[in-house]
Structure 1
Amino acid sequence: MEDINKIVYVVDDDEIFHFIIRKMLGQQDDNLIVTSFLCAEEALEQLSAVPQPSLPSLIILDMNMDRMNGWDFIEAYRSIQPSLHNNIPIIMCSSSVDVRDLQKVEKTPELMAYITKPLDKNKMKVIEEYL
């Protein structure tokens, strides 16, 4: 384990999901700071505003949210990504098992993985790979 704190952004409109993922990530790594966003717009504003050393190591993104969904977030992220000076891995997390969604994930280079809700230990291993 590194001494430096790693930051994870969780972008999901479900407060219960935030609680669960905080618990599960907290069991994995004491040096993790989980920053929760209930809407994608707030996460984008934060990404645009934070200094480079404070950028997240990982973004866990819900697909289906009100106002701005996960796909809209990725579109907006693409426009600010060059100013971030590093690629932040994004894992999409959703309850959808629609084949069209899975195909779209495969064609989206910003997405490192797709995991379905509810989370379990095997799905957490996927997240850990990118921390």
Structure 2
Amino acid sequence: MLLVDDDSTNNFLNELLFKSLEVTDRLLVAEGGAEALELIGRLPGPAEEPALILLDVNMPGMNGIQFLEAYKQRPQAERRATVIIMLTTTMDARDLSRLDELHIDGLVSKPLTKEKIEDILRLHFQR
């Protein structure tokens, strides 16, 4: 699982939430899109890529949409069948239409909660 959010406090709280739910054995955290791409690029191979990416839409530097555009350019052989869920507080209509074009798997309002994580796992991982 990869969590990409520029808010370090949110990341800390989300890490605690994921650990308490015991839903992943490895949680990678990046504070921006460029850092997330670099982190993914350093993984040993496609089998090590996260099955789930939780991605904040609004971040300084490379935002969530820019990350998605770059991520989708990677060769299919280098991308695992990753579920991408966008995290947001508010959405601009232009952002929503761009997300439709990028084929994300869901949109979840912040903050993450136990119920929201359980819904994601149930919908996309039959858990």
Does TM, scored on the shorter chain, surpass 0.5? yes
* Paired AA for residue 28 in structure 2: T
> Hey, what's the Cα distance between the residues in 2 that align with 1:24 and 1:98?
28
Partner residue of 2:102? 108
The whole-number CA distance in structure 2 between the counterparts of 1:65 and 1:101 is: 13
The answer to whether structure 1 residue 117 and structure 2 residue 113 are counterparts is no
Q: Is the 8 A contact 1:10 1:36 kept in 2?
A: yes
Comparing both structures, which one devotes a greater share of its residues to strand?
1
Q: Percent identity?
A: 30
- Once the 2 structures are TM-superposed, how far is the Cα of residue 48 of structure 1 from its aligned partner? 2.1
The within-5 A match list for 1:50-129 is: 50-52=43-45, 53-98=47-92, 100-109=94-103, 111-129=104-122
1:35 aligns with 2:44: no
Counterpart CA distance in 2 for 1:32 and 1:101 is 32
4+ runs deviating over 6 angstroms: none
- Structure 1's unaligned 5+ residue stretches are 1-7
TM-score normalised by L of structure 1: 0.80
Aligned length: 123
Are the equivalent residues in 2 in contact too, given 1:61–1:90 (CA < 8 A)? yes
Q: Which runs of 5+ in 2 are unaligned?
A: none
Q: TM-score, normalised by structure 2?
A: 0.82
